[in-house]
Amino acid sequence: MTTQLARHTDTAHLPHGHRTGGPRWSLPSDAWTITWRNLLKFKRSPDYVVFAVLQPIMFVLLFSQVYGGSIRVEGTNYTDYLMAGIFGQTVLFGATFSGYGMAQDLKDGIIDRFRTLPMHPAAVLLGRTAADLALNTVSMIIMILTGLVVGWRFHEGILAFLGGVALLLLFSYAFSWVMALIGMMVRTPEVINNASFMILFPLTFISNAFVQAQNLPGPLQAFANWNPVSALVQAARSLFGNLGQSPVSDALPMRYPIAMVLIGSVLMLAIFVPLAVTRYTRTSRR
């Protein structure tokens, strides 16, 4: 049993000195070790990475080529308007990998194995979220290239463009801590998948990600204007220069989307990082 757990945790492939029996290491070193372990899992499961990348490509092609001719956005073309919404949706769903990964490690008994190793209690969570951020970054690069192929362009310069990408990834990283906490609270990884679709699909589709919020019915329009996904997408569009000339709602998240996303991301990290670490510490001591 011990041999099987050791194989699942990939300790044989970790940097020398990070295996069982070594001295207690610092948080950055421990976190890097777990990050490397999770990146190796991606490498050994290329189908996992392929499907994670193919989904956003499918959404880009589906919405831009199939629905793009039927949707009009004042002052810009629909492909330019669409891409920030696709980016926002993809990084949100990519953040759910952290919850699924934690739930799967708990189910497989990997957390019990980690408990026997001399590592900082936050290292497992940092490594999990960092590896998923790396996968999200790869997905973003693929989406950007796909968007450029179908005609999307950014119009505010390279620095603003990089700022938009960084903002999307920051929000995704903060949200991954929320999902990591949920992943330690559920009984099976399948619950994470079901819960994610039930929560994130309404958040992304009742928003300004794919259609203009002012075209939605009254109650849905109000929800969309205060939806954090709408603020994220609006901030990205602003930095990419893809807003067009459509009227902007008086709702605070729509008037100051960049500031709201930054504040929201910091608040998520401030609240959910300690909550997740505390939950992991309690779980690993059972």
Top mean pLDDT of 57-61, 109-113, 134-138, 280-284 is at 134-138
pTM assigned to the model:
0.84
Please provide the size of the chain in residues. 286
Residue-wise pLDDT tens digits, 195-235: 888 888 889 999 999 888 888 888 999 999 999 999 999 99
Cα distance between residue 82 and residue 276, in whole Å: 34
What is the 8-class DSSP label of residue 67?
I
- 273 to each of 27, 125, 129, 221, how far by Cα in Å? 14, 9, 11, 32
Closest CA to 102 of 3, 169, 191, 15: 191
284 in Cβ contact with 189 (< 8 Å): no
pLDDT bin (cut points 50, 70, 90) of residue 20 is very low
Gap between the terminal Cα atoms of the chain: 18
* pLDDT over 70 (residue 5): no
* pLDDT over 70 (residue 26): yes
Structure-block tokens of residue 263? 């504040």
Count Cα atoms within 13 angstroms, Cβ side, for 160.
Answer: 14
For residue 166, what are the contacts with CB-CB under 8 A and spacing of at least 6?
Answer: none
pLDDT at 13: 44
161 in Cβ contact with 235 (< 8 Å): no
Which ranges in 21-69 belong to alpha helices (H)? 27-44, 46-61
Cα distance between residue 132 and residue 82, in whole Å: 24
Cα distance between residue 154 and residue 160, in whole Å: 9
Q: Summarize the confidence of residues 238-242 as an average pLDDT.
A: 93
With tokens 């960092």, the residue in question is 130
